[in-house]
Protein backbone atom coordinates (compact mmCIF):
# COMPACT_ATOMS: atom_id res chain seq x y z
CA UNK A 1 0.00 0.00 0.00
CA UNK A 2 1.36 3.40 -0.95
CA UNK A 3 2.44 5.69 1.88
CA UNK A 4 1.42 9.30 1.34
CA UNK A 5 3.36 12.24 2.79
CA UNK A 6 0.55 14.81 2.78
CA UNK A 7 -3.19 14.57 3.38
CA UNK A 8 -5.86 17.05 2.33
CA UNK A 9 -9.58 17.49 2.68
CA UNK A 10 -11.73 19.72 0.49
CA UNK A 11 -15.09 20.59 1.97
CA UNK A 12 -17.16 21.17 -1.17
CA UNK A 13 -20.17 23.32 -2.08
CA UNK A 14 -22.70 23.35 -4.89
CA UNK A 15 -23.87 26.89 -4.16
CA UNK A 16 -24.52 28.75 -7.42
CA UNK A 17 -22.20 31.69 -6.72
CA UNK A 18 -18.63 32.58 -7.66
CA UNK A 19 -17.12 31.95 -4.21
CA UNK A 20 -19.27 29.62 -2.11
CA UNK A 21 -18.91 30.03 1.65
CA UNK A 22 -18.85 26.25 2.00
CA UNK A 23 -15.54 25.71 0.21
CA UNK A 24 -12.59 24.99 2.52
CA UNK A 25 -9.24 23.25 2.00
CA UNK A 26 -7.06 21.82 4.78
CA UNK A 27 -3.73 19.99 4.53
CA UNK A 28 -1.56 18.11 7.00
CA UNK A 29 1.70 16.18 6.79
CA UNK A 30 2.61 12.81 8.23
CA UNK A 31 3.25 12.36 11.96
CA UNK A 32 0.93 14.25 14.30
CA UNK A 33 0.95 17.93 13.37
CA UNK A 34 -2.50 19.49 13.13
CA UNK A 35 -3.95 20.20 9.68
CA UNK A 36 -3.98 23.81 8.57
CA UNK A 37 -6.37 25.63 6.29
CA UNK A 38 -5.03 26.67 2.91
CA UNK A 39 -5.90 30.35 2.64
CA UNK A 40 -7.18 31.97 -0.54
CA UNK A 41 -7.69 35.71 -0.91
CA UNK A 42 -11.42 36.49 -1.01
CA UNK A 43 -12.25 32.83 -0.44
CA UNK A 44 -12.14 29.80 -2.72
CA UNK A 45 -14.00 29.34 -5.97
CA UNK A 46 -14.53 25.98 -7.64
CA UNK A 47 -12.20 27.15 -10.41
CA UNK A 48 -9.56 27.93 -7.74
CA UNK A 49 -9.84 24.41 -6.37
CA UNK A 50 -9.52 22.96 -9.88
CA UNK A 51 -6.39 25.06 -10.47
CA UNK A 52 -4.94 24.03 -7.09
CA UNK A 53 -5.43 20.35 -7.89
CA UNK A 54 -3.78 20.80 -11.29
CA UNK A 55 -0.85 22.51 -9.55
CA UNK A 56 -0.48 19.48 -7.28
CA UNK A 57 -0.43 17.24 -10.33
CA UNK A 58 2.23 19.32 -12.09
CA UNK A 59 4.38 19.20 -8.97
CA UNK A 60 3.79 15.44 -8.62
CA UNK A 61 2.82 16.15 -5.02
CA UNK A 62 2.85 13.16 -2.69
CA UNK A 63 -0.70 13.92 -1.66
CA UNK A 64 -4.01 12.16 -1.08
CA UNK A 65 -7.04 14.44 -1.33
CA UNK A 66 -10.40 13.69 0.26
CA UNK A 67 -13.18 15.35 -1.72
CA UNK A 68 -16.46 15.73 0.15
CA UNK A 69 -19.00 14.90 -2.56
CA UNK A 70 -20.46 11.94 -4.39
CA UNK A 71 -18.57 11.36 -7.66
CA UNK A 72 -21.44 9.49 -9.30
CA UNK A 73 -25.18 8.93 -9.18
CA UNK A 74 -26.91 5.65 -8.28
CA UNK A 75 -26.59 3.06 -11.05
CA UNK A 76 -26.54 -0.47 -9.63
CA UNK A 77 -30.17 -0.52 -8.47
CA UNK A 78 -31.54 0.02 -11.99
CA UNK A 79 -28.52 -0.76 -14.17
CA UNK A 80 -28.75 2.87 -15.30
CA UNK A 81 -28.28 6.39 -13.96
CA UNK A 82 -31.45 7.57 -15.69
CA UNK A 83 -33.72 4.59 -16.40
CA UNK A 84 -35.58 5.06 -19.67
CA UNK A 85 -33.29 7.76 -21.09
CA UNK A 86 -31.76 6.74 -24.42
CA UNK A 87 -28.01 7.00 -25.01
CA UNK A 88 -27.19 7.64 -21.38
CA UNK A 89 -23.76 7.17 -19.72
CA UNK A 90 -22.61 3.67 -18.89
CA UNK A 91 -19.89 4.61 -16.41
CA UNK A 92 -18.91 7.50 -14.17
CA UNK A 93 -16.46 9.10 -16.59
CA UNK A 94 -19.16 9.30 -19.25
CA UNK A 95 -21.46 10.82 -16.61
CA UNK A 96 -18.87 13.48 -15.73
CA UNK A 97 -18.51 14.40 -19.40
CA UNK A 98 -22.28 14.59 -19.84
CA UNK A 99 -22.73 16.87 -16.81
CA UNK A 100 -19.88 19.17 -17.84
CA UNK A 101 -21.02 19.43 -21.46
CA UNK A 102 -24.66 19.97 -20.50
CA UNK A 103 -23.65 22.80 -18.16
CA UNK A 104 -20.96 24.29 -20.42
CA UNK A 105 -22.61 27.72 -20.48
CA UNK A 106 -23.18 27.89 -16.72
CA UNK A 107 -20.71 30.12 -14.82
CA UNK A 108 -18.62 29.19 -11.77
CA UNK A 109 -18.65 25.47 -12.70
CA UNK A 110 -22.27 25.41 -11.61
CA UNK A 111 -24.59 22.56 -12.54
CA UNK A 112 -28.16 23.79 -11.97
CA UNK A 113 -28.94 23.45 -15.66
CA UNK A 114 -28.30 19.71 -15.58
CA UNK A 115 -31.12 19.02 -13.13
CA UNK A 116 -33.37 21.37 -15.13
CA UNK A 117 -32.69 19.59 -18.43
CA UNK A 118 -35.89 17.98 -19.80
CA UNK A 119 -34.24 14.56 -20.14
CA UNK A 120 -32.90 14.46 -16.58
CA UNK A 121 -35.23 16.62 -14.46
CA UNK A 122 -37.78 13.78 -14.00
CA UNK A 123 -35.17 11.97 -11.89
CA UNK A 124 -34.54 14.80 -9.41
CA UNK A 125 -36.37 16.35 -6.47
CA UNK A 126 -35.97 20.10 -6.97
CA UNK A 127 -37.02 23.25 -5.15
CA UNK A 128 -40.57 24.48 -5.47
CA UNK A 129 -42.02 21.04 -4.71
CA UNK A 130 -40.90 19.84 -8.11
CA UNK A 131 -40.40 16.12 -7.73
CA UNK A 132 -39.84 14.25 -10.96
CA UNK A 133 -41.91 11.17 -11.72
CA UNK A 134 -38.75 9.05 -11.81
CA UNK A 135 -37.45 10.24 -8.43
CA UNK A 136 -39.22 7.32 -6.84
CA UNK A 137 -40.75 9.07 -3.83
CA UNK A 138 -39.57 8.77 -0.25
CA UNK A 139 -35.85 9.24 0.20
CA UNK A 140 -35.02 8.49 -3.43
CA UNK A 141 -32.37 6.21 -4.90
CA UNK A 142 -29.03 5.42 -3.26
CA UNK A 143 -25.66 4.14 -4.38
CA UNK A 144 -24.46 0.80 -3.02
CA UNK A 145 -21.90 2.54 -0.80
CA UNK A 146 -24.58 4.81 0.64
CA UNK A 147 -26.42 1.76 1.91
CA UNK A 148 -23.09 0.72 3.48
CA UNK A 149 -22.67 4.19 5.00
CA UNK A 150 -25.77 3.62 7.08
CA UNK A 151 -23.97 0.71 8.70
CA UNK A 152 -21.20 3.19 9.63
CA UNK A 153 -23.73 5.17 11.67
CA UNK A 154 -24.22 8.08 9.27
CA UNK A 155 -27.26 9.19 7.30
CA UNK A 156 -26.61 9.75 3.59
CA UNK A 157 -29.04 11.67 1.39
CA UNK A 158 -29.81 10.65 -2.19
CA UNK A 159 -27.82 12.59 -4.80
CA UNK A 160 -31.09 12.95 -6.74
CA UNK A 161 -32.47 15.07 -3.89
CA UNK A 162 -31.58 18.75 -4.36
CA UNK A 163 -33.73 20.08 -1.50
CA UNK A 164 -32.86 20.72 2.15
CA UNK A 165 -29.82 21.56 4.24
CA UNK A 166 -28.49 18.00 4.15
CA UNK A 167 -28.73 17.56 0.38
CA UNK A 168 -25.51 16.76 -1.48
CA UNK A 169 -26.86 16.59 -5.04
CA UNK A 170 -25.82 20.11 -6.05
CA UNK A 171 -22.32 19.63 -4.66
CA UNK A 172 -21.97 16.31 -6.41
CA UNK A 173 -23.05 17.62 -9.82
CA UNK A 174 -20.66 20.57 -9.64
CA UNK A 175 -17.94 18.21 -8.47
CA UNK A 176 -18.47 16.01 -11.50
CA UNK A 177 -17.63 18.97 -13.72
CA UNK A 178 -14.32 19.36 -11.88
CA UNK A 179 -13.55 15.64 -12.04
CA UNK A 180 -14.16 15.64 -15.79
CA UNK A 181 -11.68 18.49 -16.23
CA UNK A 182 -9.08 16.66 -14.14
CA UNK A 183 -9.21 13.55 -16.34
CA UNK A 184 -5.72 12.37 -17.23
CA UNK A 185 -4.14 14.70 -14.68
CA UNK A 186 -5.27 13.60 -11.22
CA UNK A 187 -6.42 9.99 -10.70
CA UNK A 188 -9.67 9.41 -8.82
CA UNK A 189 -10.02 6.24 -6.73
CA UNK A 190 -11.58 3.73 -7.29
CA UNK A 191 -12.21 4.63 -10.94
CA UNK A 192 -8.43 4.82 -11.41
CA UNK A 193 -5.70 2.70 -9.83
CA UNK A 194 -3.57 4.26 -7.10
CA UNK A 195 -0.60 5.89 -8.87
CA UNK A 196 2.98 5.28 -7.80
CA UNK A 197 3.54 9.02 -7.45
CA UNK A 198 1.61 12.27 -7.66
CA UNK A 199 -1.74 13.21 -6.09
CA UNK A 200 -4.78 10.98 -5.75
CA UNK A 201 -8.41 11.96 -5.08
CA UNK A 202 -10.76 9.86 -2.95
CA UNK A 203 -14.38 10.50 -2.03
CA UNK A 204 -14.87 11.14 1.67
CA UNK A 205 -17.86 11.72 3.92
CA UNK A 206 -17.01 14.09 6.74
CA UNK A 207 -19.52 12.48 9.10
CA UNK A 208 -17.58 9.20 8.94
CA UNK A 209 -14.49 11.08 10.09
CA UNK A 210 -16.48 12.74 12.86
CA UNK A 211 -17.73 9.39 14.18
CA UNK A 212 -14.17 8.02 14.18
CA UNK A 213 -13.11 11.09 16.19
CA UNK A 214 -15.73 10.39 18.84
CA UNK A 215 -18.22 13.04 17.78
CA UNK A 216 -21.71 11.79 18.58
CA UNK A 217 -24.38 11.36 15.94
CA UNK A 218 -26.41 14.53 15.59
CA UNK A 219 -23.43 16.66 16.68
CA UNK A 220 -21.10 16.13 13.72
CA UNK A 221 -20.59 19.84 13.09
CA UNK A 222 -17.91 21.41 15.27
CA UNK A 223 -18.01 25.16 15.67
CA UNK A 224 -15.48 25.93 18.41
CA UNK A 225 -11.80 25.32 18.98
CA UNK A 226 -12.13 23.23 22.13
CA UNK A 227 -14.42 20.67 20.49
CA UNK A 228 -12.19 20.54 17.42
CA UNK A 229 -9.07 19.87 19.51
CA UNK A 230 -10.83 17.12 21.45
CA UNK A 231 -11.80 15.41 18.18
CA UNK A 232 -8.31 15.86 16.73
CA UNK A 233 -6.79 14.24 19.82
CA UNK A 234 -8.90 11.14 19.20
CA UNK A 235 -7.19 10.89 15.79
CA UNK A 236 -3.68 11.29 17.22
CA UNK A 237 -3.30 14.91 16.16
CA UNK A 238 -1.86 17.84 18.06
CA UNK A 239 -4.16 20.84 18.71
CA UNK A 240 -4.91 23.11 15.77
CA UNK A 241 -3.75 26.67 15.33
CA UNK A 242 -6.66 28.91 16.50
CA UNK A 243 -8.83 30.23 13.69
CA UNK A 244 -10.09 33.81 13.27
CA UNK A 245 -13.61 32.39 13.11
CA UNK A 246 -15.10 28.94 13.37
CA UNK A 247 -17.58 27.42 10.96
CA UNK A 248 -18.38 23.80 10.23
CA UNK A 249 -16.81 23.98 6.74
CA UNK A 250 -13.39 24.87 8.13
CA UNK A 251 -13.59 22.42 11.03
CA UNK A 252 -14.85 19.64 8.74
CA UNK A 253 -11.85 20.15 6.45
CA UNK A 254 -9.36 20.20 9.33
CA UNK A 255 -10.80 17.19 11.14
CA UNK A 256 -11.23 15.07 8.01
CA UNK A 257 -7.67 15.74 6.82
CA UNK A 258 -6.44 14.41 10.18
CA UNK A 259 -8.75 11.40 9.87
CA UNK A 260 -7.48 10.64 6.37
CA UNK A 261 -3.92 10.65 7.69
CA UNK A 262 -4.93 8.25 10.47
CA UNK A 263 -6.63 5.69 8.21
CA UNK A 264 -5.10 5.95 4.73
CA UNK A 265 -2.62 3.16 5.52
CA UNK A 266 -5.40 0.60 6.25
CA UNK A 267 -5.44 -1.96 3.39
CA UNK A 268 -9.03 -2.98 4.18
CA UNK A 269 -10.33 0.49 3.26
CA UNK A 270 -8.86 0.14 -0.24
CA UNK A 271 -10.66 -3.11 -0.98
CA UNK A 272 -14.03 -3.12 0.84
CA UNK A 273 -16.60 -5.85 0.13
CA UNK A 274 -18.87 -4.90 -2.77
CA UNK A 275 -16.45 -2.46 -4.40
CA UNK A 276 -15.75 -4.38 -7.61
CA UNK A 277 -19.41 -4.45 -8.67
CA UNK A 278 -19.61 -0.64 -8.70
CA UNK A 279 -15.99 0.41 -9.19
CA UNK A 280 -16.57 2.11 -12.55
CA UNK A 281 -20.21 3.17 -12.27
CA UNK A 282 -20.83 4.42 -8.72
CA UNK A 283 -17.45 4.52 -7.04
CA UNK A 284 -16.97 4.23 -3.28
CA UNK A 285 -16.66 6.42 -0.21
CA UNK A 286 -13.25 5.93 1.36
CA UNK A 287 -13.74 4.68 4.89
CA UNK A 288 -17.10 2.94 4.33
CA UNK A 289 -16.36 -0.67 5.22
Evaluate whether 149 touches 75 at the Cβ level (below 8 Å): no
Q: Give the Cα separation of 77 and 196 in Å (integer).
A: 34
Indicate the residue among 174, 206, 228 that finishes a domain. 174
Please say whether the dihedral angle defined by the alpha carbons of residues 22, 222, 233 and 286, taken in this order, is positive or negative. negative
pLDDT, residue 152, reads 78
Q: Model confidence over 76-113: pLDDT tens digits? A: 999 999 999 999 999 999 999 999 999 999 999 999 99
Q: Is residue 281 domain-resident?
A: no
Same-domain pairing of 256 and 114: no
- A 10 A CB-CB count for 263 gives 17
Are 198 and 165 found together in one domain?
no
Instruction: Give the neighbor-by-neighbor strand order of the sheet with 36-37.
Output: 36-37, 24-29, 6-11, 63-67, 200-203
For residue range 110-127, what is the model confidence (pLDDT) as tens digits?
999 999 999 999 999 998
The overall pTM is greater than 0.85: yes
pLDDT of residue 72: 98
Q: Please indicate, yes or no, whether residues 236 and 98 belong to a single structural domain of this protein.
A: no
pLDDT in the model for residue 128: 87
Does residue 76 sit within a domain? no
* Claim to verify: residue 96 and residue 145 sit in the same structural domain: yes
Task: Tell me the C-alpha distance between 17 and 108, whole Å.
Answer: 7
Report residue 165 CA to chain centroid gap. 16
pLDDT of res. 28:
98
Phi (first) and psi of residue 181, to 5 degrees: -75, -15
- pLDDT in the model for residue 220: 61
In a domain, 258, yes or no: yes
Kindly state whether residue 209 falls inside one of the protein's structural domains: yes
Instruction: Provide the pLDDT confidence category of residue 218 given band limits of 50, 70 and 90.
Output: low
Structural domain boundaries enclosing 32: 6-70+181-270
Whether residue 50 lies inside any domain: the answer is yes
Query: Rounded to whole angstroms, how far apart are CA atoms 87 and 142?
Result: 22
Is the pLDDT at 219 greater than 80, yes or no?
A: no
Cβ 287 vs Cβ 205: under 8 Å: yes
Helix, strand and coil in the chain, % to nearest 5 = 35, 10, 55
**pLDDT, tens only, 38-66:** 999 899 999 999 999 999 999 999 999 99
43 part of a folded domain: yes
Both 221 and 266 in a single domain?
A: yes
* Residues 102 and 156 placed together within one structural domain of the fold: yes
More confident residue, 87 or 218: 87
Are both 56 and 190 inside the same structural domain? yes
Place 136 in a pLDDT band, splitting at 50, 70 and 90: confident
Residue 44 sits in the same domain as residue 123: no
Domain boundary among 124, 147, 174: 174
Residue 273 has pLDDT above 70, yes or no: yes
User: Quick one: 169 and 193 in the same domain?
Assistant: no
Q: Could you tell me if residue 153 is inside a domain?
A: yes
What is the overall mean pLDDT for the chain? 95
SS3 227: helix
Domain count, the chain: 2
Query: How many CB atoms within 10 Å of residue 94?
Result: 15
pLDDT at 137 over 90: no
Q: Which residue has the higher pLDDT, 150 or 11?
A: 11
Residue 193 pLDDT > 90: yes
Asked if residue 262 and residue 197 are part of one domain, the reply reads: yes
Q: How far apart are the two ends of the chain, measured CA to CA in Å?
A: 17
Q: Write the pLDDT tens digit of every residue in 152-189.
A: 788 899 999 999 888 999 999 999 999 999 999 999 99
Of 126, 157, 174, the last residue of a domain is 174
Same domain, 163 and 205: no
96 with 158, same domain: the answer is yes
User: Does pLDDT of 217 surpass 80?
Assistant: no
The whole-number pLDDT of residue 39 equals 93
Q: Is residue 278 part of a domain?
A: no
Mean local confidence (pLDDT), 251-272 = 97
Amino acid sequence: MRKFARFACIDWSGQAVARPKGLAVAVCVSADSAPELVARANGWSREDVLDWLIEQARAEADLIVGLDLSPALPFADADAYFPGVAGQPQDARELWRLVDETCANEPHLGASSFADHPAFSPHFRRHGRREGAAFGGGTGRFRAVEHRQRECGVSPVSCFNLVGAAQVGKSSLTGMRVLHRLAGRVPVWPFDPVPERGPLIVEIYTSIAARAAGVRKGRSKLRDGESLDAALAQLGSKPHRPLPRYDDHSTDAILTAAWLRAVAHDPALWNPPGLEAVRHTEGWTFGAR
